[in-house]
Amino acid sequence: MTPPPADSVAAMIRPAPLRSDSKTNRDLLSVMQGAPLGYWLLLGTALLFMHIAGGIWVYQVYKGLGIAGYAHPVFWGVYIVTFVFWVGIAHAGTLISAILYLFRAKWRNAINRGAEAMTVFAVLTAAQFLGIHVGRMWKAYFILPYPNQRGLWVNFKSPLLWDTFAITTYATISILFLYVGLIPDLAIARDRATGWKKVLYTVLALGWQGSSGQWKAHNRSVLHLSGLATPLVLSVHSVVSWDFAVALVPGWHTTIFAPYFVAGAIFSGFAMVLTLMIPVRRIFGLEAYITDYHFENMSRFILLTSIIVGYAYAAEYFIAWYSGVEPEQTAFWLRAFGPYWISTWIMITCNGILPQLLWFKKLRTNVPFLFVLSVLINIGMWFERYVIIITGLSREYDPAVWGVYIPSWPEMGILAGSFGFFCTFFLIFLKLFPIVAIAEMKEISIHEKAHATEGVH
Amino acid sequence: MPVLMGIYDLPGQAAGVAKQLRGRGYTDIETYAPAPFSEVEDAIDPKPSRVRLFTLIGGLTGVVAGYAMTIWMVNDWQIMIGGKPFSSIPPFTIIAFELTILFAGVMTVLGLFVFGRLPRFKIDSAYSARFSGEEFGVVVRCRDRDVAEIDTLFRDHDATEVSLVES
């Protein structure tokens, strides 16, 4: 018998090697390491768009709001449309994090971090548009009830003020939710990072060590934040919808607006999660964590909310006809066949008709198809807000004051810049923080391991 | 007093050993876990977290603050708007609702900081990066004469490793 080669004998007498780090950690932390050229190109493009928009904004401050396309009677234009669009996008994050948490839908663990980050950046993007829209952004604090020499207070009966409270609360709670969820993952990163990143994570992880008292308080906090965020998310877009519904403009003054806007927000938010997570999964090879099952579940949500949104479109037209109110009927007739007919048909096609393809399982599991569809839904949802706001204002009660609004180049530039702003922050987040909640993925994998072991006994 | 640490692969093992230690009268026990597992946390302290008290206080403060602020402000300088009463409860309910959520949320996070003892500036000497990997640790402080007993207990529960953190 030939003796075993010397090196294998050496391997036998050496002590067992230290157990390597958990595979989940290695896979998910690897997303944060290194940045290929493509990443820098994307980040550069996003930054470029953001700065161009910044330049346009400075120009607008210098010249005044006249450079926006506002023309009598339309004084709510692309800025407000884009504000509503981004607030809507922000809704999926909380829905996935909070509502699915309460329903104990464990599949959310793979996508909730990305969705929460998206929420925070979308709210921050949206909030800027209020300042851009009012023109003199430095007077934005007027909307807050602060003591002043004039002894005046804000008007709490105005939906715009409800909006202030809703949006600031939503931004605060979304940031807290994201951060609380991040703390255990920051500790994971802290234990493995070096250099300046170690300092960053050490500070942000707050000395987390996963002791029983910490997990107990953490669990309870996440549960309570979910319970609080669930009614909040439903209230925020309801309040945004009341900005319109409380006004007496034909096409706006309807009670259906709150549920219609909330469904639309969830619809567009899920589409945006798909738009972001499909490339992220592909580029960073996260197929083992974010599976087709996750995408299929999200497309089911998209299908459901698309049906609600489609029903709302139909109900609006039906009620306009059935009510017998002439301004209402005219407004809706002109939506579909008036000067803005292209926007209306884009909205109906992208939001009501195309998502019906998701009834087919083949298409629900076809990732390239989902990506294209999600982009189309984003476009459709932007046009939905455009249709509601612009057609409503341009065709009010008195035909003598009807007018046509055409978006100007500064407005479109700032709209493009908002995507740059959003993408810049999302791309930076991607490299600094775990985009998939590592501790929550382990919760699932360790449970599975425990069940498998118990099965053997 | 010596501090002993057992390392486990599964939450059930760590929970079982922590429960037994408590049953035998040891009080200074701590566990480290890579993810939340209620059985492990309950083995140390089965009472529900008091974070809920913070949420409740925050929420109640928010709802009272919301109504009080709006009602006081409209009456501090009365301006008739749309012929509506000054103290209109329905629109103020929206403000009160948002502040309820805001205050309750902030207080919940404050509760996490208080009961999770965060931020902490010194990491426990028993803590190591393996607990942010996929392993569980049970750490107990005991008298010298109990070391052998605890060592046996740790190993009986399939500890992958038992070590003396402090002697």
pLDDT in tens, B150-165: 999 999 999 999 998 8
Instruction: Give the phi and the psi of residue A71 in degrees, each rounded to 5.
Output: -145, 140
Percentage with pLDDT > 90 across chain B: 80
The answer to whether residues B132 and A25 touch, using CB atoms and an 8 Å cutoff, is: yes
The answer to whether residues A53 and A420 touch, using CB atoms and an 8 Å cutoff, is: yes
**A440 vs B contacts (CB less than 8 Å):** 35
Query: So what's the pLDDT on residue A18?
Result: 57
Residue A370, number of CB atoms within 10 A of its CB: 23
Instruction: Give the phi and the psi of residue B139 in degrees, each rounded to 5.
Output: -120, 135
- A157, A218, A440 ranked by CB distance to B81: nearest: A157
Q: Do B134 and A446 touch (CB under 8 A)?
A: yes
Query: So what's the pLDDT on residue A264?
Result: 95
Per-residue pLDDT, averaged over B25-48, amounts to 92
Query: So what's the pLDDT on residue A320?
Result: 93
Chain B within 8 Å of A288 (Cβ-Cβ)? no
Nearest to A260 by CA among A387, A119, A77: A387
**A225 vs B contacts (CB less than 8 Å):** 105, 108-109
Q: What's the farthest any 2 CA atoms get from each other in chain A?
A: 106
- A155, A169, A439 ranked by CB distance to B98: nearest: A169
Chain B within 8 Å of A214 (Cβ-Cβ)? yes
Q: How far apart are CA A120 and CA A37, in angstroms?
A: 26
Taking the CA of residue A68 and the nearest CA in chain B, the distance in Å comes to: 31
Q: How far apart are CA A288 and CA A411, in angstroms?
A: 42
Q: Do B12 and A450 touch (CB under 8 A)?
A: yes
Query: So what's the pLDDT on residue A35?
Result: 84
Q: Which of A188, A206, A216 to mutate to test binding with chain B, by most B CBs within 10 Å of its CB?
A: A216
Residue A379, number of CB atoms within 10 A of its CB: 15
Reading the block at residue B65, the tokens are: 């603050």
- A157, A172, A215 ranked by CB distance to B88: nearest: A157
Low-confidence ranges of chain A (pLDDT < 50): 1, 4, 6, 8-17, 456-457
Amino acid letter for position A93? G
What mean pLDDT value characterizes chain B?
Answer: 93
ipTM for the predicted complex comes to 0.95
Which strand (E) or helix (H) includes residue B30? strand B29-32
Residue A315, number of CB atoms within 10 A of its CB: 14
Query: So what's the pLDDT on residue B105?
Result: 97
Ordered strands of the B136-141 beta sheet: B29-32, B136-141, B3-8, B161-166
B77-131 confidence digits (pLDDT tens): 999 988 889 999 999 999 999 999 999 999 999 999 999 998 999 988 899 899 9
Q: Do B127 and A209 touch (CB under 8 A)?
A: yes
Q: Do B133 and A154 touch (CB under 8 A)?
A: no
A window 424-453, beta carbon within 8 A of B: 439-440, 442-443, 445-446, 449-450, 453
- A153, A172, A446 ranked by CB distance to B105: nearest: A172
Q: What's the farthest any 2 CA atoms get from each other in chain B?
A: 82
Kindly state the DSSP code that residue A58 receives in the 8-state scheme: H
Q: Which of B30, B130, B132 to mutate to test binding with chain A, by most A CBs within 10 Å of its CB?
A: B132
- Alpha carbons within 13 angstroms on the beta-carbon side of residue A32 total 22
**What is chain A's Cα-based Rg?**
25
Task: Please name the residue of chain B whose CA is at the shortest distance from the CA of residue A158.
Answer: B91
Taking the CA of residue A87 and the nearest CA in chain B, the distance in Å comes to: 16
3-class DSSP assignment, residue B163: strand
- B9, B109, B123 ranked by CB distance to A176: nearest: B109
Predicted structure pTM score: 0.93
Query: So what's the pLDDT on residue A2?
Result: 56
Q: How far apart are CA A409 and CA B42, in angstroms?
A: 61
